[in-house]
Amino acid sequence: MQERLDQIKKQLHAENFKLTPQREATLRVLLENEEAHLSAEEIFMLVKQKAPDIGLATVYRTLDLLCELKIIEKLNFGDGVARYEFRSEDHPHHHHHLICLKCGSLFEIEDLLDDLEERVERDHKFKIVDHRVSFLGYCSSCLAKEGHKEGN
């Protein structure tokens, strides 16, 4: 984790920003919960444990800055709650999401669209810089509770 913090610190400095204690606490929470797709409020509650004097507005400003610098990405899964995840340095859209409509569980799957992107770029002379895909449905746990077989 320290290596990634150091890397982000360099990125911040390159853009004339400092890694303040509040920003560091926010980044640590994001790194510790990288797979969780936390909301700003969830991040705030966890950051508050590390930095009790931090305010919600500071967390929001930090998240906005990290999004602006393309360190993290703000995601919307249609439930009215913005969530955050780290962006991949080498491939900005490195996975897709499966979202359970019953329990709200969120699962990541690998990017399935590389070949399609290349074809769209070639056939339509269009440079794609990003894409987002979310599949909505029901997870295996919810299907089992309802007595459904997977795939039906």
Does residue 131 have a known ligand-binding role? yes
Does residue 94 have a known ligand-binding role? yes
Does residue 142 have a known ligand-binding role? yes
Does residue 96 have a known ligand-binding role? no
Does residue 67 have a known ligand-binding role? no
Amino acid at 138: Y
Does residue 148 have a known ligand-binding role? no
Residues making up the annotated binding site are 94, 100, 103, 131, 139, 142
Residues making up the annotated binding site for Zn(2+) are 100, 103, 139, 142
Residues making up the annotated binding site for Fe cation are 94, 131
